[in-house]
Structure 1
Amino acid sequence: MTATETSDLLASCYCGAVSLHCEAKPKSVIHYHCQQCRRLSGAAFTTWLSLPREATVISGATNLQQFAASENGLRHFCKQCGTHVFTEDKRLPGILGVPAGILSTPLTSKPSGHYFFSDKADWSFCHDDLPKFGGASGFERIDV
């Protein structure tokens, strides 16, 4: 990989029992407003990084607990502190969905849009110019 294609992202759970190290830039960075993400994070939305699995080293994996949040999604949490460390989706093999909030290094890639925006929390307001997607699939372009 060239210098422009690499990154050095470090992330960890709250207690430090599980950590991630990725030497590739995220394939995407997006804001998710779906109800599942809100409930699991306790926040208005979750910003997700899509990291290539083959470029990501997971340390402390014995401290992970899994939760099948949906038919396709398997979420991995630290069994010590409860931090959501990453998600795997059967429809996206080779990709780890990592919540940006667990990063300990700066994120230089910027979010590209808001997804499941039709499902956003009614008390949450969004004033940026990023494109919004929603509708039944959560991925249809919408004008707000």
Structure 2
Amino acid sequence: MNNKKIYTGGCLCGKIRFEISGDIQDIIYCHCSHCRKAQGSAFATNGNVDAEKFKFISGENDLTGFEVAPGQTKYFCKICGSPIMSKNNNHPDKVRVRLGIIESDIIEKPSAHIFVNSKANWETIEGNLPKFEGYPTKK
């Protein structure tokens, strides 16, 4: 029996398809202004995956990027505009995936809300997850 975890997903128009073989790590709800604007919503739900475990099945040529800060690029479908992922030059071994585009049931759960000091003024954050003004510091 094969217990290898595989997640699949893609953009709204279906041009971009990908798979993740392995765990999704560090799932967070990000309330920063960049994520809010990129998602068109109150927050983004993002998770890290090992770069070598993220593979495009189709449509990689339909991916386009926008550098939001030096070394930080958000990627989206140039046809339908769906946000796909982001990359940070400081962490080349990771890909930060927008979890709303994953079609498989996700086993891992979010661990925190970050950048809560820049959340939308009309948003109320519910629940018991930890809340941080920026990135949580690692111990």
- Provide the TM-score with structure 1 as the length reference: 0.88
Structure 1 counterpart of 2:29: 31
Match of 1:13 among 4, 11, 15: 11
The count of corresponding residues between Structure 1 and Structure 2 is: 135
Task: Provide the rounded CA distance (Å) in 1 between the counterparts of 2:18 and 2:28.
Answer: 19
Query: 1:89 and 1:105 mapped to 2: Cα distance?
Result: 25
Write the mapping of 1:74-85 to structure 2, written as runs, cut at 5 A.
74-85=73-84
Query: Aligned to 2:5, what secondary structure does the other structure show?
Result: strand
Distance 2:132 2:71 in 1: 21
SS in structure 2 opposite 1:9?
strand
Structure 1 segments unaligned to the other structure (5+ residues): none
Residue identity in the other structure for 1:46: A
Tell me the residue number matched to 1:92: 91
Which of 49, 52, 58 matches 1:51? 49
Q: Which runs of 4+ in 1 moved over 6 A?
A: none
Unpaired segments of 5 or more residues in structure 2? none
User: Shift of the alpha carbon at 1:140?
Assistant: 4.9
Deviations 1:11-69 (A, max 9, x none): 10001111110111112211100001001111100000111110111131111111111
In structure 2, what residue type is equivalent to 1:33? H
Secondary structure class of the residue paired with 1:124: coil
- For 1:82-126, what per-residue CA distance to the aligned partner results, in whole angstroms no more than 9, with x for missing partners? 111111011211111111111111111100000111111111111
How much is the aligned-residue C-alpha RMSD, in angstroms? 1.5
Instruction: Say yes or no: does 1:128 pair with 2:127.
Output: yes
Pair 1:18–1:28, CA change in 2 (3 A):
same
